[in-house]
Amino acid sequence: MRTPGGLSLRLDVRALLVVVLLLAAALTAGVALIGTGDAKIPAADVIRTLTGHGSAYQDFIVNELRLPRVLVGLLVGASLGLGGALFQTVSRNPLGSPDVLGLSQGSTAGALVVIVLMSGSAVQVTVGALVGGLVTGLAIHLLAWKQGVHGYRLVLVGIGVSAVATAVNGYLLTKADLVDAARAVVWMTGSLDGRDWDQVWPLAGLCAVLVPLVSAGARGLRMTEMGDDVAGALGVRVQRVRLVLMVCAVLLTAAATAAAGPVSFVALTAPQLARRLTRSPGPNLLPSLCMGAALLVTADWAAQRVFGADQLPVGVVTGVLGGVYLLWLLVTERRAGRI
């Protein structure tokens, strides 16, 4: 596509259609989720209230109680989807997600240190999760570095770091008193219960900074898929691009974990599902972002509606679905001779 000013833009019609459909699915699931609960509100009334034409009762239910939860779900899912796409592209491995690499476990360890050892507030837990994610990401990068960071080395180091972080989390739980341990287990499940505007604004602000930064590095990331030598010959500073985008991915994952706990498998499945829908090469960053948002909000709706009176944390639903998907992916990769 060419503009009157002489600029040209390559437009993948199928990918654009997938993005539009995923956004529509995410927004539809969000409206349905807002209307779900003890006080059921029809979708038409939800939309009317969101546009400022609802009653005072509906305004309180929708805008104060339920909208923040849905927004956190959308932002967390988008952050995990984008972070997973970045890690899978950098590692050139469909298993290279924050769940497998140990970043989620590292963020959890940081939060548990605050909960168990400091009895910290919600804000302090958020800061602890961010610090834990950054420290874990730095450790993985340093341990995997050998004239650059490459595919399977990054995944293998991440699996080892994940095992260590999981052991640390178990140790911290054994040292916690009953109240703090119960609080920590609830947080570790991954849930959107009780989320309010205090979780929305920090995550939205971070996404507003990181998403444009990732978009600016998308071209360089796409070039690296042709090989480091080819990308370097085209003027891409390969290691700098990877480092910047990995830092962005770590921050996105840590912020999502801080907001909703370690919601599993969204970062693993969203990029792969997006790639299969678009059927286009490249990192598929925007489709992965939209797929993550749609997956998480839909999973939260299912957690509240599918199991009757027993409402489950969203992390339980994504864990079950993601575990099945991971087994299928491993079988597929084995049959293809890649593992």
Within-domain flag for 184: yes
Residue 141: inside a domain, yes or no? yes
Share of the chain above pLDDT 70, in %: 90
Boundaries of domain holding 136: 13-336
Question: CB of 302 within 8 A of CB of 251?
Answer: no
Q: Give me the mean pLDDT over the 211-216 stretch.
A: 89
In a domain, 303, yes or no: yes
Which among 4-18, 57-71, 141-155 has the top mean pLDDT?
57-71
**Residue 89 confidence class, pLDDT cut points 50, 70, 90:** confident
Tokens of 263: 């919601």
Q: Token pair for residue 135?
A: 């420290």
Residue 1 lies in a domain: no
Predicted local distance difference test score (pLDDT) of residue 229: 66
Domain annotation covers residue 4:
no
Per-residue pLDDT of 158-187, as tens digits, reads: 888 888 988 988 888 888 888 878 777 877
In a domain, 174, yes or no: yes
Q: Is residue 6 part of a domain?
A: no
CATH code assigned at 20: 1.10.3470.10
The DSSP code for 265 is S
Q: What angle do CA 282, 285, 291 make, to 5 degrees?
A: 120
Query: For 191-202, how does the pLDDT look when each residue is reduced to its tens digit (9 = 90+)?
Result: 888 788 888 888
- In the predicted structure, residue 149 carries a pLDDT above the cut 80: no
| 182 neighbors 290 (Cβ within 8 angstroms) | no
Q: Is residue 117 part of a domain?
A: yes
Give the phi and the psi of residue 144 in degrees, each rounded to 5.
Answer: -90, -5
Q: Cβ distance 172 to 114 under 8 Å? A: no
Q: Which residues of 21-53 are buried (b: 16+ CB within 10 A; e: fewer)?
A: ebeebbeebbbbbbbbeeeebeeebbebbbeee
Task: Output the pLDDT for position 71.
Answer: 94
Q: Write down the mean pLDDT value for the chain.
A: 83
- Please give the tally of structural domains in the chain: 1
Q: What is the pTM of this model?
A: 0.88
